[in-house]
């Protein structure tokens, strides 16, 4: 079976794919688990705390943007990169986010997205 370079690498939305692809996938898996537990419709707030290198350098590498887009239900393979800047800016300005692309919730970028350096 032949393996393409495209099978090995996924391009992320930030300057560092290693800091965006995994966090975006983790956020969508979190949504999947909420849906499986049949509690997604009851969520009113999400707080995300990043640790290790994601907590230390995530802002500069686009991890925050990737997590939020993942919480909106986007995947690294399916997201339209041209839509990210406008969506992120709207969320930062207080528009909230649409959890899983279906459930609007309040989201405070400064309070609900935490970068832990420990």
Q: Are 99 and 72 in contact (CB under 8 A)?
A: yes
> Is 1 a member of any domain?
no
Structural domains of the chain, count = 1
CA-wise closest residue to 65 among 93, 91, 30, 26: 91
Are the CB atoms for 83 and 20 separated by under 8 Å? no
Mean local confidence (pLDDT), 34-45: 95
Q: What is the DSSP letter of 14?
A: S
Per the document, the length of the chain is 118
The per-residue pLDDT for 104 is: 95
Which CATH number goes with the domain that contains 109?
3.30.1330.90
pLDDT, tens only, 14-32:
666 778 899 999 999 999 9
Domain that holds residue 24: 13-115
What is the pLDDT at residue 18? 73
Asked, for residue 111, whether it belongs to a domain, the answer is: yes
Tens of pLDDT, residues 49-102: 999 989 888 888 899 999 999 999 999 989 999 999 999 999 999 999 999 999
Q: Is the pLDDT of residue 11 over 60?
A: no
């Amino acid at each position: 079976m032949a393996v393409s370079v495209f099978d090995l690498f996924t391009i992320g939305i930030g300057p560092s794919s290693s800091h965006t692809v995994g966090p975006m996938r983790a956020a969508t898996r979190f949504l999947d688990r909420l849906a499986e537990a049949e509690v997604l419709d009851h969520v009113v707030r999400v707080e995300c705390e990043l640790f290790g290198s994601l907590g230390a350098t995530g802002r500069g590498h686009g991890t925050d943007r990737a997590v939020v887009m993942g919480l909106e239900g986007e995947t690294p393979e399916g997201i339209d990169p041209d839509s990210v800047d406008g969506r992120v800016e709207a969320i930062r300005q207080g528009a909230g986010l649409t959890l899983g692309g279906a459930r609007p919730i309040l989201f405070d970028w400064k309070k609900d997205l935490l970068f832990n350096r420990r």
